[in-house]
Structure 1
Amino acid sequence: MEWNFVLRLCVAGLCGTVIGLDREYRVKDAGFRTHFLVAMGSALMMLVSQYGFSDILSAVPEVKLDPSRIAAQVVSGIGFIGAGTIIIHRQLVRGLTTAASLWASAGIGLASGAGMYLVAGAATVLTLIGLEGLNLVFRRLGQRRIMLVFSAADRNVLNEAFNRLKSEDYTVLSYEVTAERSGEEMLYRATLVIRAKSSAGEDRYLAVLQNDPDITVERIV
């Protein structure tokens, strides 16, 4: 029986790793190690929930336990880890998909821990379809929010770059310029949040800034 439990943990860890590799490929904070631990840990909690109290139940027939209680707590408790992957900055929200993949990995781990291998495998495939397949099919739909942080020694240079970034493919949501002293000179830093159509090439707005020798691109989110 214990080897069967080990097999369930291995299946859960494998499924979580497969999903985590996709997030690792997308350069997300929660990669294959995090997804492995979430899936395997969820399977472990399911095993404990189902079989961890068998000695008490056999010794004291009056004691009744609900094996689904720990599993239910795993589903809600995984929200704390998912919340840690979500970043909200200005008008940008990042990490929702990774948080959802962690939540799905927890469910896959619970299924593996319950011995539902086919369900766990199918859920893994469907999760990958949701992460990659739907992105390929609907990549031209919707809009993305992008934050650009760039700086220059002359504020007029920033304003000119801001005007060049305006196009029908991008909508400016916010634009803020701050000034700070760098040695004896002033440095102006612009934070620009734009909404880009999915069909717009990501290198277009970046090329506008990089082609200007007076501008330093600091960060793109």
Structure 2
Amino acid sequence: MLREALYAGEPAIGLDVTAIRLVTAMLLGSFIGFERESHDRPAGLRTHMMISLASCLFALVALLLVDLPTGDETALRYDPLRLIEAVTAGVAFLAAGSILTKGDTIKGLTTGASMWLAGAIGLAVGTGNATLALMAAVLGVVILRLLRPLKKGIGEE
């Protein structure tokens, strides 16, 4: 009985693939988180890793729900896009919390954007698009690292 309560049946995605996707999402999130951490930003390494990991898990759950046998053709079908929208909204809520305004000064906007990117990276890995996620992570770090001197050069930081 306990097995039936905790086990939904044979998953469409094997545990080995699931584990690889979760670890990959966590590692790619760490690339961006490490950059934020190295500049003493409030949302750093662990936060970005957790966001990517959670987003990946939500994507995996969405994929598993689509393949869940209902036994009835007229039964409710799950829409994975709704879950992705929910993840996007949830991460955006977290990211918005990292943004502080005081008069004309805004702080944390880039950190909020990087948190949103970490969520997208996790979703990409969770849906089996690790190459896309890797490209986004590399480009995100390039933006954060290489454009910082340019921003300082024009007197914005």
SS at match of 2:152: coil
- In structure 2, the residue matched to 1:60 is 72
Give the gaps of 5 or more residues in structure 1: 145-221
CA shift, 1:139, in A, is 3.1
More helix by share: 2
Percent of residue pairs bearing the same amino acid type: 33
- In structure 2, the residue matched to 1:213 is none
SS at match of 1:143: coil
- In structure 2, the residue matched to 1:16 is 29
Q: TM-score, normalised by structure 1?
A: 0.61
Deviations 1:80-120 (A, max 9, x none): 10111111123321000000000000000000001111101
Q: Is the 8 A contact 2:51 2:119 kept in 1?
A: yes
Q: Pairwise mapping of residues 35-184 of structure 1 onto structure 2 (< 5 A)? A: 35-57=48-70, 59-63=71-75, 64-144=77-157
- Which amino acid is the alignment partner of residue 29 of structure 1? P
Give the Cα separation in 2 of the matches to 1:62 and 1:19: 44
Q: Is the 8 A contact 2:66 2:79 kept in 1?
A: no
Q: TM-score, normalised by structure 2?
A: 0.85
- In structure 2, the residue matched to 1:30 is 43
- Which amino acid is the alignment partner of residue 50 of structure 1? L
Larger Rg: 1
Range with bigger deviation, 41-50 or 79-88: 79-88
**What count of residue pairs does the alignment treat as equivalent?**
143
Q: Which runs of 4+ in 1 moved over 3 A?
A: none
Q: Pairwise mapping of residues 170-209 of structure 1 onto structure 2 (< 5 A)? A: none
Range with bigger deviation, 23-32 or 82-91: 82-91
When the two chains are superposed, the root-mean-square deviation of aligned CA atoms in Å is 1.5
